Amino acid sequence: MLLIKNRLPLISGKNIWSLPGGGIKRGELPAAAAARELFEELGITVDVQAIHLLGTQHSGGFGIRYMAWFFQVQLLEKPPLTLQKHEVCAAEWLEVSTVHQTPHALEVSQALSLLADQQ
């Protein structure tokens, strides 16, 4: 599982591992947005056809509605990472079985739950 630490702690907290991601542009399909964000944040190029939806989560509060899309991409090998320095300060490949031992954002726990449901 590829996790990142955001440079801006307001996004996921200081020294907290989170998932690569971002917003969906007007007219953009969610899987295309996922591919774009992987490239922008980490320099990873993936074919949109290789991106598979794991599930979605809805949340909100204070008049804001939020929908998270969780995707899985199977890679034959781990590509080199080129971090977008103004957004991402660290990135690491972790075994799914060890992710729960790291300080991580809620969306990482949600992704782990969705992965477990696929088993």
Indicate the domain borders of the chain.
2-118
Classified by CATH at the fold level, domain 2-118 comes out as Nucleoside Triphosphate Pyrophosphohydrolase (3.90.79)
What's the confidence (pLDDT) of residue 58? Answer: 83
Nearest in space to 68 (alpha carbons), one of 101, 39, 100, 109: 109
Dump pLDDT digits (tens) for 42-81: 999 999 999 999 999 887 767 777 789 999 998 889 999 9
